[in-house]
């Protein structure tokens, strides 16, 4: 910037009015006008310094082919403008023209828009990343809560009811096996996804290397097309992520339903085993009842035959006359008396027989003793 640019109409009026006395209100107005002009010049100078610093940083780093071509086109355009404006006086060549200032402002505005666009894209990317992390944490939290609920419902209750039983241990081992199987499936899926992403990354790097080797220059149309394709790919990735989330939820629900059906099947198997045992017991009891029924039928037939026999005897029975009964009763009494008398006589005879036996045995022993002392023939 030169001294000619700093000269403003306000300063000229201040010089012209320097000889005369200027009112205070007019002085305040001039000060405000000069401060406004200085702030505008300061902003413009900062913008020019920023652009100059960008040019210096661009000169210091190695230029790519696309940037070199862009600089060549800009240099050619500026050279044409210089040739067209070679008739301008030397005073004006020392400062920037209005067109150059406008061009610099437009470039700065485009750079600022690009920075804002990059910042917005980075912010959206970070926001999507954090949203994905939050969503993943929420899904993980729900899965952990569901697993805790299933563990409490299926394992802890069974273990608390049947402590030390083989069934509780088997259920615990089945639960651990199911959880390990689920983790292995998720691990395999993530491994396949990682492999596919690595393949895509290699393809993209190969394509990028080919483009750099061919030195393709991407124009605004290409950038717009890439932005559109990027948006489409982001939408597709979002759709696939949503589909993956739905599939994970569906797989979780299916695993839960499968676990419920497994428990129901196990209970049905246990019930079937108990029913088979009970059926065997009932069959044995039925056979026993049938045998008892046959025995009862036989006993009933025997009882009926005996009853018939007794009925026939009862039908043939005739009551004797009273006198005959009295006579028989008297004879029975006499017979009982004679029986008692003979029993007494038998007792007396037995007692006398015992005494005779004792005397006989005594005599026999004495005789044997005598024979032993004095044998016959001496």
> Would you say residue 232 has pLDDT above 50?
yes
pLDDT digits (tens, 9 = 90+) for 329-356: 899 999 999 999 999 999 998 998 888 8
Higher pLDDT, 94 or 365: 365
Distance in angstroms (rounded) separating the CA atoms of residues 134 and 116: 26
* Residue range 114-137: mean pLDDT, rounded: 88
Categorize the per-residue pLDDT at 285 as very low, low, confident or very high, splitting at 50, 70 and 90: very high
Distance in angstroms (rounded) separating the CA atoms of residues 144 and 138: 10
Nearest to 71 by CA among 86, 53, 55: 55
Least confident residue range of 118-127, 132-141, 311-320, 335-344: 311-320
* Residue range 305-316: mean pLDDT, rounded: 87
Least confident residue range of 23-32, 221-230, 296-305, 322-331: 221-230
* Residue range 198-209: mean pLDDT, rounded: 86
**What integer pLDDT is reported at residue 88 of this predicted model?**
45
**What integer pLDDT is reported at residue 340 of this predicted model?**
92
What mean pLDDT value characterizes the chain?
77
Tokens at residue 165, please?
């039983």
Distance in angstroms (rounded) separating the CA atoms of residues 22 and 18: 8
Please identify which residue in the block is written with the tokens 């009964």.
325
Tokens at residue 74, please?
């800009």
Three-state secondary structure along the chain? CCHHHHCCHHHHHHHHCCCCCCCHHHHHHHHHHHHHHHHHHHHHHHHHHHHHHHHHHHHHCCCCHHHHHHHHHHHHHHHHHHHHCCCCCHHHHCCCCHHHHHHHHHHHHHHHHHHHHHHHHHHHHHHHHHHHHHHHHHHHHHHHHHHHHHHHHHHHHHHHHCCCCHHHHHHHHHHHHHHHHHHHHHHHHHHHHHHHHHHHHHHHHHHHHHHHHHCCCCCHHHHHHHHHHHHHHHHHHHHHHHHHHHHHHHHHHHHHHHHHHHHHHHHHHHHHHHHHHHHHHHHHHHHHHHHHHHHHHHHHHHHHHHHHHHHHHHHHCCCCCHHHHHHHHHHHHHHHHHHHHHHHHHHHHHHHHHHHHHHHHHHHHHHHHHHHHCCCCC
Alpha carbon distances (Å) from 354 to 217, 349, 359: 154, 8, 9
Categorize the per-residue pLDDT at 21 as very low, low, confident or very high, splitting at 50, 70 and 90: low
Higher pLDDT, 85 or 266: 266
> Would you say residue 16 has pLDDT above 70?
no
Distance in angstroms (rounded) separating the CA atoms of residues 29 and 310: 154
Least confident residue range of 5-19, 34-48, 109-123, 219-233: 5-19
pLDDT digits (tens, 9 = 90+) for 53-108: 777 766 555 444 445 555 555 555 555 554 454 444 444 445 667 777 777 778 77
Tokens at residue 125, please?
């990317």
**What integer pLDDT is reported at residue 348 of this predicted model?**
92
* Residue range 180-203: mean pLDDT, rounded: 87
**What integer pLDDT is reported at residue 177 of this predicted model?**
82
Distance in angstroms (rounded) separating the CA atoms of residues 179 and 158: 18
Least confident residue range of 17-21, 35-39, 220-224, 350-354: 17-21
Alpha carbon distances (Å) from 286 to 87, 272, 282, 289: 130, 20, 6, 5
Distance in angstroms (rounded) separating the CA atoms of residues 315 and 309: 10
């Amino acid at each position: 910037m030169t001294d000619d640019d700093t000269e403003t109409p306000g300063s000229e009026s201040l010089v012209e009015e320097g000889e005369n006395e200027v009112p205070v209100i007019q002085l305040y107005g001039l000060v405000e006008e000069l401060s406004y002009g200085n702030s505008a010049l300061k902003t413009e100078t900062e913008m020019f310094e920023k652009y100059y610093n960008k040019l210096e940083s661009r000169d210091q780093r190695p230029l790519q082919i696309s940037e070199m071509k862009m600089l060549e086109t800009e240099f050619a355009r500026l050279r044409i403008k210089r040739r067209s404006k070679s008739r301008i006086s030397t005073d004006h060549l020392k400062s920037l023209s209005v067109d150059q200032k406008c061009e610099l402002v437009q470039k700065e505005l485009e750079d600022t828009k690009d920075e804002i666009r990059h910042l917005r894209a980075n912010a959206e990317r970070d926001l999507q990343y954090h949203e994905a992390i939050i969503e993943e944490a929420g899904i993980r939290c729900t899965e952990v809560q569901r697993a805790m609920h299933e563990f409490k419902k299926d394992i802890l209750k069974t273990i608390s009811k049947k402590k030390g039983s083989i069934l509780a241990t088997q259920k615990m081992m089945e639960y651990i096996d199911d959880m390990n199987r689920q983790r292995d499936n998720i691990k395999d899926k993530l491994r396949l996804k990682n492999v596919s992403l690595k393949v895509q990354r290699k393809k993209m790097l190969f394509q990028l290397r080919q483009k750099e080797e061919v030195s393709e220059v991407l124009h605004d149309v290409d950038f717009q097309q890439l932005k559109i394709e990027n948006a489409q790919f982001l939408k597709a990735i979002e759709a696939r992520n949503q589909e993956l989330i739905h599939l994970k939820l569906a797989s979780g629900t299916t695993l839960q339903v499968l676990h419920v059906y497994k428990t129901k099947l196990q209970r049905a198997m246990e019930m079937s085993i108990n029913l088979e045992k009970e059926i065997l017991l009932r069959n044995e009891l039925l056979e026993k009842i049938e045998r008892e029924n046959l025995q009862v039928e036989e006993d009933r037939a025997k009882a009926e035959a005996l009853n018939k026999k007794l009925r026939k005897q009862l039908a043939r029975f005739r009551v004797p006359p009273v006198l005959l009964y009295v006579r028989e009763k008297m004879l029975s009494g006499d017979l009982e008396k004679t029986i008692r008398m003979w029993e007494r006589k038998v007792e007396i005879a037995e007692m006398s027989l015992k005494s005779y036996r004792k005397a006989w045995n005594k005599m026999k022993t004495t005789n044997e003793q005598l024979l032993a002392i004095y044998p016959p023939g001496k």
